[in-house]
A and B are shown apart, each in its own frame.
Chain A
């Protein structure tokens, strides 16, 4: 099976879906001729033309707004926001419009839209090219939020997102783009949205994570195995809706849960997962549910020591797991 990078999986999924369904089209800044600033849409304009791989003006609100209109009409737009940090002008369209279209029309209209955006830091992106924004949308019913961690998951989930009848926010950790490689089948396959996956079996501590930090958790687990600590790693893959069953099952496996994400701690997804666990798996808990997250500062600074202090790492994750294992 071919081994490809995380970002190639994005391109592959887009290409296959555009071939499969004429209604699918891509739009965003620099996605056409340039192939995207990260090359996520590389080569698509050559195959599908500039009408289906559209270089938009610099205007996030309109990118999403226009997508909503086309989606409501019956198309399947896949909008790219160049950096998740720049999604802010589009928040009004996403929350007030896309999330509510089906509900407010009493199912008369709906919005099968995908918004893709690279998020996350560790690339000297500073305050405005490193942010995690998923928590802004976590509390919005009507939206789905997907954050895959492996190339295999990327392809399967992006296809599902495109075929989904509701708006899906698809966040790709930019550091994973070229760093993470994996086997991806060349055939068509989908992965259901809303299903987490156990990426590693273990018996001592459960780590729940997504995105880049999922890989940190796996790395930490490898290291800790040598120290005799067995780590169970659950990849959420979808943040909204959360895979409640998988979360509770993973909790019951060890009784000790560490939630890891790069986003700020306060108000982050970890709080929601933690509440779910204590609410429904109280008697499985052998320790308080812990969260290892980004610090509560506005964003990740540019200067290397500051970025390093902010970012999580396999070492930081391992230290937290170790502490929990010893509790």
Chain B
């Protein structure tokens, strides 16, 4: 039975040795502990003794060879077959000191948000409920959030370029993302003490309501609101719509309302006044290239503000279809994230519930919001004569950090001109 002889560790920190001279050759008899060869290392020069008695079979590492500790240097045929006693327990695996005690159910880690996750969620206005956690116990990891952000960017690249822009304004979506505030903050009622009297009904605040509330507060708090209004004579528009609406309904299967006409006027005017299609970003104003119009759609319990992306590329008919589609989705609860993101200007059809004048709250972080009030017949002076005309108020709330009265006024003028230009022969 041949036994391997390996290079021993000849000193602390020695990792290899060079065979300088073999003292035995194949065929020689070797007694236990008799030296086999001489070895030189960096630290010591020594002889390697045989660990067994027998006959040297073959030399594997020749003179001059540098051999690592533990590598084979020669083989010896053992005599008698009496192997040297092996120590018990050699190389026993060390028991893992802190092995995971699998077995008991660990509570879900899904809502165990780390500081990084919370920070990113806040900076990017993310609803953590929407994200799948790939971490331990379903935990949402920083990576999960970052990937989510990347995915969102790819889906709706509202931001022109760069992740270098400060987190705040640029990346905040223009629509009410359901943003769950950190556990605990919403619980504080800010010291509001309201007494309950008999007959009072407590309605729990839904997350949607809570989010809307939050956004309203943020908008009013951040942006100094200014407001202005013009009055437009839309008699021509009314006539136009009268003429088209039945055919449109037949052809497209949907109603033709006034809203698409107003949106078109707004969109064309925004092209002339890019500052109305912008965002406040702290140390700079970002003029958004795309024109994505947020429209307000009311349901029984809440107001949703989906977005018509690239509204400037649509015709009035196209806008009408887009509006219809979004309204349907809203009512059936099928709005997607994409539908809600990226708005750059909001048009609010307050006229639909009879209002003739409103002071809308800006859809943060947009620069302005336009409400289109009810179209009413009123006596006005036209060509020095009293006439009954269809009149509508157009109200504009603006972020006074970005816009001042002059520019806002001019913009509104152009919108007014455009809506007043609609006539029975206008093509849609």
Q: Could you list which residues of chain A lie within 8 angstroms of chain B, going by C-beta atoms? A: 37-39, 123-125, 129, 174-175, 177-179, 204, 254-256, 282-287, 295, 305, 308-309, 326-327
Cβ–Cβ contact B42 & A178, under 8 A: yes
Interface string of B1-24 (1 = CB under 8 A from A): 000000001001111100000000
Q: A178-B42, A327-B135, A327-B136 are in contact. Are A283 and B116 (CB under 8 A)?
A: yes
B interface residue count range (under 10 / 10 to 19 / 20 to 34 / 35 or more): 20 to 34
Chain A, Cβ-Cβ closest to B94: A309
Cβ–Cβ contact A39 & B43, under 8 A: yes
Q: A204-B143, A255-B142 are in contact. Are A178 and B14 (CB under 8 A)?
A: yes
- Chain B residues with Cβ below 8 Å from A177 are 13
Does B117 count as interface, using CB distance less than 8 angstroms? yes
- Chain B residues with Cβ below 8 Å from A123 are 12-13
Chain B, Cβ-Cβ closest to A125: B12
Contacts A308-B94, A327-B139 supplied; 20 other A-B pairs, CB < 8 Å: A39-B42, A125-B12, A174-B13, A175-B13, A178-B14, A178-B15, A255-B114, A283-B115, A283-B118, A283-B119, A284-B116, A285-B114, A285-B116, A286-B115, A286-B142, A286-B143, A295-B97, A305-B92, A327-B136, A327-B141
- Chain A residues with Cβ below 8 Å from B135 are 326-327
Cβ–Cβ contact B13 & A38, under 8 A: yes
Cβ–Cβ contact B141 & A174, under 8 A: no
Does B89 count as interface, using CB distance less than 8 angstroms? yes
Cβ–Cβ contact A286 & B141, under 8 A: yes
- Alpha-carbon separation in the docked complex, A314 to B263 (Å): 65
Interface string of B265-284 (1 = CB under 8 A from A): 00000000000000000000
- Alpha-carbon separation in the docked complex, A37 to B42 (Å): 10
- Chain B residues with Cβ below 8 Å from A255 are 114, 116, 142
- Chain A residues with Cβ below 8 Å from B14 are 178
Minimal beta-carbon separation of A95 from chain B (angstroms): 28
Minimal beta-carbon separation of B179 from chain A (angstroms): 17
A285 touches which of B42, B92, B115 (Cβ 8 Å): B115
Cβ–Cβ contact B115 & A284, under 8 A: yes
Chain A, Cβ-Cβ closest to B113: A286
Chain B, Cβ-Cβ closest to A204: B143
Minimal beta-carbon separation of A99 from chain B (angstroms): 30
- Chain B residues with Cβ below 8 Å from A174 are 12-13
- Alpha-carbon separation in the docked complex, A285 to B115 (Å): 6
Minimal beta-carbon separation of A124 from chain B (angstroms): 6
15 contacts between A and B (CB under 8 A): A37-B43, A123-B12, A174-B12, A283-B116, A283-B118, A283-B119, A284-B116, A284-B119, A286-B115, A286-B117, A286-B141, A286-B142, A295-B97, A305-B92, A326-B136
- Chain B residues with Cβ below 8 Å from A124 are 9, 12
- Which of B114, B119, B135, B143: most chain A CB closer than 10 A? B114
Query: Interface majority SS on B: helix, strand, loop or mixed?
Result: loop
- Alpha-carbon separation in the docked complex, A62 to B354 (Å): 97
Q: A178-B42, A326-B136 are in contact. Are A286 and B12 (CB under 8 A)?
A: no
Chain B, Cβ-Cβ closest to A178: B15
* Contact residues, B117-149 vs A (CB, 8 A): 117-119, 135-136, 139, 141-143
- Alpha-carbon separation in the docked complex, A37 to B15 (Å): 16
Minimal beta-carbon separation of A70 from chain B (angstroms): 30
- Alpha-carbon separation in the docked complex, A89 to B94 (Å): 35
Minimal beta-carbon separation of B99 from chain A (angstroms): 10
Minimal beta-carbon separation of A122 from chain B (angstroms): 9
- Chain A residues with Cβ below 8 Å from B12 are 123-125, 129, 174
- Nearest 3 CB-CB pairs, A to B? A286-B142, A123-B12, A255-B142
- Chain B residues with Cβ below 8 Å from A286 are 114-117, 141-143
Interface string of B224-245 (1 = CB under 8 A from A): 0000000000000000000000
- Alpha-carbon separation in the docked complex, A305 to B97 (Å): 14
Minimal beta-carbon separation of B163 from chain A (angstroms): 14
Cβ–Cβ contact A179 & B15, under 8 A: yes
Minimal beta-carbon separation of A205 from chain B (angstroms): 11
- Alpha-carbon separation in the docked complex, A254 to B114 (Å): 13
- Alpha-carbon separation in the docked complex, A284 to B119 (Å): 8
- Alpha-carbon separation in the docked complex, A179 to B89 (Å): 28
Chain A, Cβ-Cβ closest to B12: A123
- Alpha-carbon separation in the docked complex, A39 to B115 (Å): 50
Minimal beta-carbon separation of B43 from chain A (angstroms): 7
- Alpha-carbon separation in the docked complex, A25 to B117 (Å): 55
- Chain A residues with Cβ below 8 Å from B143 are 204, 286
* Contact residues, B62-95 vs A (CB, 8 A): 89, 92, 94
- Chain A residues with Cβ below 8 Å from B13 are 38, 123, 174-175, 177-179
- Alpha-carbon separation in the docked complex, A256 to B97 (Å): 22
Chain B, Cβ-Cβ closest to A179: B15
- Chain A residues with Cβ below 8 Å from B139 are 327
- Chain B residues with Cβ below 8 Å from A295 are 97
Chain A, Cβ-Cβ closest to B109: A327
Q: A124-B12, A309-B94, A326-B136 are in contact. Are A38 and B43 (CB under 8 A)?
A: yes
- Alpha-carbon separation in the docked complex, A123 to B14 (Å): 8
Minimal beta-carbon separation of B134 from chain A (angstroms): 9
Chain B, Cβ-Cβ closest to A176: B13
Chain B, Cβ-Cβ closest to A252: B116
A305 touches which of B94, B117, B119 (Cβ 8 Å): B94
Chain B, Cβ-Cβ closest to A309: B94
- Chain A residues with Cβ below 8 Å from B92 are 305
Chain A, Cβ-Cβ closest to B145: A286
Chain B, Cβ-Cβ closest to A129: B12
- Alpha-carbon separation in the docked complex, A218 to B349 (Å): 62
- Alpha-carbon separation in the docked complex, A39 to B41 (Å): 11
A287 touches which of B43, B97, B114, B119 (Cβ 8 Å): B114
Cβ–Cβ contact B15 & A282, under 8 A: no
Chain A, Cβ-Cβ closest to B16: A178
Minimal beta-carbon separation of B10 from chain A (angstroms): 12
- Chain B residues with Cβ below 8 Å from A283 are 115-116, 118-119
- Chain A residues with Cβ below 8 Å from B97 are 295
Chain A, Cβ-Cβ closest to B134: A326
- Chain B residues with Cβ below 8 Å from A38 are 13, 43
- Alpha-carbon separation in the docked complex, A174 to B14 (Å): 10
Minimal beta-carbon separation of A198 from chain B (angstroms): 19
- Alpha-carbon separation in the docked complex, A129 to B13 (Å): 11
- Which of B15, B42, B89, B116: most chain A CB closer than 10 A? B116
- Chain B residues with Cβ below 8 Å from A39 are 42-43
- Alpha-carbon separation in the docked complex, A125 to B13 (Å): 9
Chain B, Cβ-Cβ closest to A288: B114
- Alpha-carbon separation in the docked complex, A98 to B362 (Å): 67
Chain B, Cβ-Cβ closest to A278: B115
